[in-house]
Structure 1
Amino acid sequence: MEEFVTSDLIIGIISGGQLGKMLIQEASKWDMTTYVLDPDKDCPAAQIATRHIEGSNLDFDAVYRFGKEVDLLTFEIENVHMGALKKLKSEGVRIAPDPDVLELIQDKGKQKTFYTRNDIPTAPFHLYESKEQILHALDAGHITVPFVQKLRTGGYDGRGVAVITHTKDLEKLLDGPSVIEEKVAIEKEISLIVARNKAGETATYPLVEMEFDPQENLVDTLFCPASVTEQQGTKAREAAEKIVSLLNMEGLLAVELFIDSTGDVLVNEVAPRTHNSGHHTIESVMTSQFEQHLRAVLNLPLGSTELKRPAVMVNILGEPGFEGPVRYTGLSEALAMAGVKIHLYGKKITRPARKMGHATILATTLDEARKKAKRVQQLIKVTSWKKK
């Protein structure tokens, strides 16, 4: 194990959104120096980082220069300039998770191929280079509607995905290298986070169940523990632990899965970082995902993932029809409810469906937490003095 270090170590975080901010909040408890790279001077992490450097995660020079200023480089987003990371790695800069892991996960086609090569259950798929190729494959009968199209790179929070249910939906097809998946009859969507350090120690979090906003295709509500059978839970954990081991990961891996209408468990995709599906861990688990990420990338002993209380997390999203300086309503009423914990990310501007914060609701039973969560969603609204 590594020796524990505090302010002598500079941790560099690429991208300064809410994940970076919450990671810095944990690092500050250990008196660590934190640098963040982000093009937005008002990004959430810039408010609390030791130093904010303006620059794009997609710019070679910005990423390379940033990496040379820190002792350990990590990230809160997959979309990072790979050439810069590989050059930094070749020069001995410590990067966790490793750029090779990030490169595989950046490309959903490579991800899916990795699963099939390693006998990890996933939905059947085909790879195509363009919209034209997809339409040709349809005409030739190689694929049929319904299906889901995912751009191989660049997709995030529901972007880069087209769900084709009927032939009339073909106008929604995206152009670019894509994964075409058979549309799974989904009974429920679940997720878990698994951590692994350099020593090979792993720690797996309790499964969570997710409900998605059908319009925005992003998580609306999350429940922990998930309502699954013992066999389904075992399959999900085994798949996640197999993936993190095969990747030789250092850090966190969020694994999103489907349970289909027959009860089978299928891996959807993974993210090599802290994740929206783990926000509830700040209050509901012995070790939050953000502390665990630090433990993993610093090769420290991993913390307990024991669930303290049932929890529901709801994303606080920008309301439709509003874009401009943010205005919150309903916070006082929500905070008056026992077990409600609110996190606002510090984003100055709201827009429809933008993640502005989250609320975690703890209770003695999951049913009680769910009832309170519905009330919280009714109370908290994110608008602006300006209408879109």
Structure 2
Amino acid sequence: MNYFSSNFTLGILGGGQLGKMMLYETRKYDICTKVIDPNPAAPARLACDKFVVGDLMDYDTVVNFGQDVDILTFEIESVNIEALEYLEQKGKLVYPSASTLKKIQNKGDQKEFYLKKEIPTAPFTRYQSKDELVTDWAQKKKTFPFIWKSCTGGYDGKGVAVIKNKEDLIPLPDVPCIAEEMIHFKNELAVIVARNANGEVKTYPVVEMEFHPEANQVEYVICPARIADEVAQNARAVAHKVSESFEHVGLLAVELFQTQDDQILVNEVAPRPHNSGHYSIEASFTNQFEQHIRAVLNLPLGATESKVGGVMVNLVGEENYKGPVHYQNIEKIMQLPGVTPHIYGKKETRPFRKMGHVCIVNKDLNQARKIAEQVKQSIKVISLTK
């Protein structure tokens, strides 16, 4: 099939920042795109060939959208799976597949899939309601502390809570959930895995993630991770096994824990470009967005090695600001060596909302991390009107 400068159309479900950055690559290759998002001001609206406003969870909307494209992919997991299954039955190519997404969309199903495939993960208990969880605690079948996760609807730290005592149980919503054993880890790591329809698989170097203690969001992504070579090799091998088990096509971001005795446990996965791969835009031979496009079009995968050490800093809304966004001191950080800001195009800021990121590249990874700290301390995502 001729994808380039042709009538071929790639459909993308979701028009957020990941969709916008995917479109950088389709523009580079002159691939026609059609994007759907419920937000008429979505970041991807200006870069695609056709933009549609619509509900990604509505069956008819997704079916109608998918019938008008040649291959369908997505940048967010919250899409109607039944619609994707119908489109596949009608011969439409959907990557990653509805089957892959179905295993991942529900965190309870995802964790049980790991057990079935003998993939190392933290011990957990699954509950259909908050009452079931509270009953287990009252009967001393569940002890503090543990990690509570909503089975569906969680993202960017939402739908996750550390439960240390009885009072922490009170505000939890009454939804299906899992209670996961708390892992006392050395590092939170991630590996991006790319796989095309021919079964070609490549993994990116292991990255190290540093999280904001309050928002439970990634603050820094460091590539390569500052870990022993044997730990990195094991992490990539585990991520490769996860990819084989899901038989996905496209990108799969595999989030991992490195335990105190250097074991690797799978935390969770995302079947799309991911925050942990943003460093690759400046630091890698093939960035994660181009790699996703290559994979879903069944083209040869690009080199995953890094050209240089990279650190990514997330730009999120400051706690006490909500309103039209202003990037304070952005000119200051642009004077720093190896610094490239990426602004997502969201016009309104609010506390901890992801508004952009900054990539820092340097031959000396420690120097890149120091510059990243300067970036974090300098630029502030605020609103001039409170």
The alpha-carbon deviation at position 3 of structure 1 amounts to: 5.4
| SS class of match (2:313) | strand
Q: Whole-Å Cα distance in 2 between the matches of residues 56 and 321 of structure 1?
A: 30
Unmatched 5+ residue regions in structure 1?
none
Q: Give 1:248's aligned residue.
A: 247
Distance 2:344 2:17 in 1: 6
Q: Counterpart amino acid of 1:231?
A: E
What letter is aligned with 1:226? A
**What is the rounded CA distance, in whole Å, between the counterparts of 1:346 and 1:47 in structure 2?**
10
Deviation at 1:230, TM superposition (A): 2.1
Q: How far apart, in 2, do the equivalents of 1:294 and 1:49 lie?
A: 14
Q: Report how far residue 5 of structure 1 moved.
A: 3.6
Q: By how many angstroms is 1:4 displaced?
A: 5.0
Checking the alignment, whether the CA contact within 8 Å between 2:238 and 2:264 is kept in structure 1 is no
**For 1:167-206, what aligned pairs fall within 5 Å after superposition?**
167-206=166-205
Q: Is the 8 A contact 1:121 1:266 kept in 2?
A: yes
> Aligned letter for 2:280?
T
Kept after mapping to 1: 8 A contact 2:63/2:83: yes
The residue that corresponds to 1:292 in the other structure is 291
Can you list the C-alpha shifts for 1:79-135, whole angstroms capped at 9, x where unaligned? 101111111111111100000000110011111111111111100011111110000
The corresponding residue for 1:148 is 147
Instruction: Compute the TM-score of the two structures, normalised by the length of structure 2.
Output: 0.98
Conserved in 1, the CA contact under 8 Å of 2:211 and 2:218?
A: yes
Which whole-Å CA distance do the structure 2 matches of 1:61 and 1:221 have between them? 39
Normalising by structure 1, we get a TM-score of: 0.97
State the match for 1:66 in structure 2: 65
Whether the 8 Å contact between 1:149 and 1:161 is mirrored in structure 2 is: yes
Gaps of 5+ in 2: none
Per the alignment, residue 159 of structure 1 pairs with 158
Q: Percent identity, aligned pairs only?
A: 48
Q: Equivalent residues in 2 for 1:44-193 (5 A)?
A: 44-193=43-192
SS in 2 for 1:84: helix
Q: State the distance in 2 between where 1:6 and 1:171 align.
A: 57
Which amino acid letter does the alignment assign opposite residue 305 of structure 1? T
Partner residue in 2 for 1:281: 280
Contact 2:194 2:202 in 1 (8 A): yes
SS at match of 1:62: helix
1:219 aligns with 218
Contact persistence 2:10–2:32 (CA under 8 A):
yes
Distance 1:127 1:180 in 2: 6
- Amino acid aligned to 2:261: T
Residue 120 of structure 1 aligns with an amino acid whose one-letter code is I
Number of the residue aligned with 2:37 = 38
Distance 1:370 1:255 in 2: 23
Tell me the SS of whatever aligns to 2:282. Answer: helix
Three-state SS of the structure 2 residue aligned to 1:249 is coil
Q: What are the Cα deviations for residues 326-356 of structure 1, in whole angstroms up to 9, with x where unaligned? A: 1111111111111001100111111111111
Deviations along 1:182-236, one digit per CA (max 9) or x if unpaired, are 1111221000100001111111001100011111111111111001122221221
Alignment check: 8 A CA contact 1:162 1:174 kept: no
Whether 1:335 aligns to 2:331 is no
Q: Mean Cα displacement is larger for which, 223-232 or 351-360?
A: 223-232
1:21-53 Cα deviation digits (max 9, x unpaired): 000111100001111101111110002111110
SS in 1 for 2:292: helix
Cα offsets for 1:125-161 (capped at 9, x unmatched): 1111111000001112221111011111111111111
Question: Root-mean-square deviation (CA), in Å?
Answer: 1.1
- Between the aligned partners of 1:331 and 1:218, the Cα distance in structure 2 is 21
Aligned to 2:77, the other structure's residue is in SS state coil
For these two proteins, the number of residue pairs brought into alignment is: 386
* Cα gap change, 1:6 to 1:113, in 2 (>3 Å): farther
CA distance in 1, matches of 2:22, 2:228: 33
For the Cα contact (< 8 Å) 1:4–1:300, is it kept in 2? no
Structure 2: distance between partners of 1:110 and 1:31: 38
